[in-house]
Amino acid sequence: MRLAVFVSEYREPAMLERLKAEKLGIVLVQNGVYHAALKKDGNVSPVLSKDVEYYALSEDLQSRGFSDSDVVDNKVKVINYDGLVDLIFNDYEKTIWL
């Protein structure tokens, strides 16, 4: 199964560690983009510690005062709404929201 997980809060979802899939993508949206743009005590967010695909929604970064270049980890791919639609319809079979 190919699973996309939407993370919309700036807290670490406890369930995230238990998710298993053939292909797992974490999509940072709304306040979840803070995981991609901020460091805590000099470290990137623990949400970015899994070996999965990461995406951050550009429009949500911008609405919070960040630019695409403010993303602190290069494994996070910044996408726009069109890119998000492409992901949902082409790359992932199921989506969940945490």
Q: Mind listing the pLDDT tens digit for each residue in 28-45?
A: 999 999 999 998 888 999
For the residues of 51-66, what is the DSSP string, one character each? SSEEEEEHHHHHHTT-
What does the pLDDT look like over 36-86, one tens digit per residue? 999 888 899 999 988 999 999 999 999 999 999 999 999 999 999 999 999
Q: What is the pTM of this model?
A: 0.93
Amino acid found at 81: Y
Domains of the chain: 2-11+20-97 (3.40.1260.10)
Apex 46 CA angle, 53 and 90, nearest 5:
15
Residue 26, judged by CB atoms within 10 A of its CB (0-12, 13-18, 19+), counts as buried
pLDDT number for residue 20? 85
The owner of tokens 């298993």 is 20
Which two three-digit tokens encode residue 61?
Answer: 């970064």
pLDDT digits (tens, 9 = 90+) for 1-28: 999 999 999 987 778 888 888 999 999 9
